[in-house]
Amino acid sequence: MIGDLQRPDLTVAVIGTGTMGRGIAQICAQAGMTALLFDSRDGAAREAVTAIDKALDGQVAKGRVSAEAKKGFIGRLRAIGSLDEAAPAGIAIEAIVEDLAAKRALFCELEKRIAPDAVIATNTSSLSVTEIAAGCGDPARVGGLHFFNPPPLMRLVEVIGGLRSDPALVEALTGFVRRIGKHPVVATDTPGFVVNHAGRAYGPEALRIVAQGIASPREVDLLMKEAAGFRMGPFELLDLIGADVTHAVMVSIYEQYFGEPMYQPSAQLAVRVAGRLLGRKTKQGFYNYDGTPVASPPTIAVGAQPKPASAWIADEDGGRELAEWLAGAGVKTQVGGTPDAGALCFVTPLGEDATSAAVRLKLDPARTVAVDMLGNFKGRRTAMKTPLTAPEALGAAVAALSDGAAVTAINDSVGFVVQRLLAMIVNIGTRIAELRIAAPGDIDTAVEYGLNYPKGPLSLGDTLGPRRVLAVLDGMHAVTRDPKYRATAWLRRRALLGVSLLTPD
């Protein structure tokens, strides 16, 4: 039996009042509930109430909350010195240390003190809700409420039922999330749920690109922001979250999926963690935060060259659009046919590297440059060389592409930078759909709200075109033979049928 989480006098107990717990308590008090705060460290719960008071003062100063309302919120917060005082709670939300044994021990203690129909929710980000619940006398009333940091600002809460949860629990928790003004997304009890699972593409693939010397962290960040429209580049994000936290999540999800190659962590990041280059918190990460930033040299020094008078372009996906760009820059173009001797040759591969495209099309690799046309992004363009591309050819290509846009020159790579990252985001999104972790629309909402991407992975795939995304992945897979680039059956079926990636089975 699950108690009523909508009753007007619902009391919430928040256990663990660190970063997450205090934010959760604040939201509950603001939603009109009494929030009891408990922490095992002496004085920590009172400190949390003081911190919430200060945070709310900031809201009052900005005119977002009236002084009167603030008084009401603070009046509903109560620091308690013993778990016994949690007895009146209709729901207990746990936000203690991320440790299975500690959470199980706490839940056993809680069970003895709260009403038999009171709900226990864990805010775990990486442990299994079912496994935590299995340590309880009554696992039926245990579920997951996964808040995001900082809870008062982040709209999303993932709701997770354990395998032995009461069938009514997920609905009760979903209603509770709405009651506190947040957006619930229901996810199955799987590693990383939706958001931390979906996040396994952006950082890890960017780290692989840098490890392979294709582009620098700053170049990858600029491309993802200026070409693909992301608010933060993957390396800025890594520095913000902390390399230690990100590495731990990467390892945890990889291990919980028993070594699935798609989630392979980065050996290079592990060394950075060992060396304490953690990002903002240690003032040194992929960027420096203690003084003037050191200007990072471009991966490829492109010499200034005049624009070419003419260029040949392969008649493939994106070729016509590229011809328009170049014509706009005053370059005479020939699309398809045989290139003139000595002509600068442009290719627009999907997933294939510049070398493979040059060899397949029987072009002179010394005169071949690849341009990323996926998405027709105009803010920043990518020019990719083969190992044999002559510096003059690359310089001329960059000069031709620089008309009205910034250009990043990169070393040869399957899927450039943007294609690679976007295709991985879409592919992992479709894997989440395929594994029935959440409904397709909910996957997109969770990623938009939880990761702040411009679009959810399935809508992103629809915008780029499922066939193109499939071509990128198939191309990457064909060149590298690396199983992490195999497309999901969910993606392949919808691409073949020409329908939206949001189409359910």
Ligand X SMILES: NC(=O)c1ccc[n+]([C@@H]2O[C@H](COP(=O)([O-])OP(=O)(O)OC[C@H]3O[C@@H](n4cnc5c(N)ncnc54)[C@H](O)[C@@H]3O)[C@@H](O)[C@H]2O)c1
Q: Which residues are catalytic?
A: 125, 146, 158, 196
Q: Is 227 in the site for ligand X (CB under 6 A)?
A: no
Q: Closest CB to ligand X belongs to which residue?
A: 18
Classify residue 371 by its DSSP letter. Answer: E
Q: Is 96 in the site for ligand X (CB under 6 A)?
A: yes
CA-based angle 83:191:488, to the nearest 5? 160
Q: Which ranges in 361-390 belong to alpha helices (H)?
A: none
Classify residue 362 by its DSSP letter. Answer: T
Q: Is 298 in the site for ligand X (CB under 6 A)?
A: no
Query: Which residue carries 């250009």 as its tokens?
Result: 407
Applying CB under 6 A, the span of 1-9, 34-42, 286-294, 478-486 interacting with ligand X comes to: 34-42
Q: Is 21 in the site for ligand X (CB under 6 A)?
A: yes
192 vs 375, beta carbon nearer ligand X:
192
Q: How far is the CB of 455 from ligand X (least distance, A)?
A: 23
What's the per-residue H, E or C state across 331-356?
A: CEEEECCCCCCCCEEEECCCCCCHHH
Q: Is 252 in the site for ligand X (CB under 6 A)?
A: no
The C-alpha atoms of residue 96 and residue 409 are separated, in whole angstroms, by 46
Of positions 11, 17, 26, 408, contacts ligand X by CB under 6 A: 17
Of positions 1, 67, 97, 211, contacts ligand X by CB under 6 A: 97
- Residues 103-122 binding ligand X (CB under 6 A) are 106
| Closest-CA residue to 11 (of 163, 112, 114) | 114
Q: Is 60 in the site for ligand X (CB under 6 A)?
A: no
Contact 213, 224 (CB under 8 A): no
**258: left (phi > 0), else alpha (psi -120 to 50), else beta?**
left
Q: Is 452 in the site for ligand X (CB under 6 A)?
A: no
Of positions 32, 44, 85, 284, contacts ligand X by CB under 6 A: 44
Q: How far is the CB of 54 from ligand X (least distance, A)?
A: 16
Q: How far is the CB of 123 from ligand X (least distance, A)?
A: 4
Q: Is 131 in the site for ligand X (CB under 6 A)?
A: no
| Closest-CA residue to 117 (of 144, 90, 143, 97) | 90
Kindly report the backbone phi and psi dihedral angles of residue 126, in degrees, each rounded to the nearest multiple of 5, phi listed first.
Answer: -130, -10
Q: How far is the CB of 473 from ligand X (least distance, A)?
A: 30
Say which residues have a Cβ less than 8 Å from residue 259's Cβ, sequence separation at least 6: none
The secondary element (H helix, E strand) that includes residue 146 is strand 142-147
Contact 401, 407 (CB under 8 A): yes
Q: Is 444 in the site for ligand X (CB under 6 A)?
A: no
Contact 59, 14 (CB under 8 A): no
Applying CB under 6 A, the span of 96-104, 283-291, 377-385, 395-403 interacting with ligand X comes to: 96-104
Tell me the site size for ligand X, rule CB under 6 A.
23
Q: How far is CA 420 from CA 351, 382, 423, 458, 500, in A?
A: 7, 13, 5, 16, 20
Q: Is 15 in the site for ligand X (CB under 6 A)?
A: yes
240 vs 439, beta carbon nearer ligand X:
240
Classify residue 361 by its DSSP letter. Answer: T
Q: How far is the CB of 445 from ligand X (least distance, A)?
A: 17
Q: Is 19 in the site for ligand X (CB under 6 A)?
A: yes
Contact 389, 363 (CB under 8 A): no
Retrieve residue 465's tokens: 């075109």
Q: Which ranges in 19-66 belong to alpha helices (H)?
A: 19-30, 44-61
Q: How far is the CB of 373 from ligand X (least distance, A)?
A: 37
Of positions 30, 34, 123, 459, contacts ligand X by CB under 6 A: 123
Q: Is 39 in the site for ligand X (CB under 6 A)?
A: yes
The C-alpha atoms of residue 59 and residue 8 are separated, in whole angstroms, by 25
Applying CB under 6 A, the span of 145-153, 339-347, 362-370, 468-476 interacting with ligand X comes to: 145-153
Q: How far is the CB of 139 from ligand X (least distance, A)?
A: 18
Strand 368-371: give its sheet, edge to edge: 332-335, 310-313, 344-347, 368-371, 380-385, 406-410
Q: How far is the CB of 17 from ligand X (least distance, A)?
A: 5
Of positions 50, 149, 212, 296, contacts ligand X by CB under 6 A: 149
Cis, peptide link before residue 150, omega less than 30° from 0: yes
Q: Is 102 in the site for ligand X (CB under 6 A)?
A: yes
Q: Is 125 in the site for ligand X (CB under 6 A)?
A: yes
Q: Is 124 in the site for ligand X (CB under 6 A)?
A: yes
Applying CB under 6 A, the span of 11-19, 267-275, 403-411, 433-441 interacting with ligand X comes to: 11-19
Retrieve residue 3's tokens: 């108690």
Applying CB under 6 A, the span of 123-131, 199-207, 224-232, 258-266 interacting with ligand X comes to: 123-131
Classify residue 132 by its DSSP letter. Answer: H
Q: Is 98 in the site for ligand X (CB under 6 A)?
A: yes
Interface residue list for ligand X (CB under 6 A): 15-21, 39-41, 44, 95-98, 102, 106, 123-125, 147-149
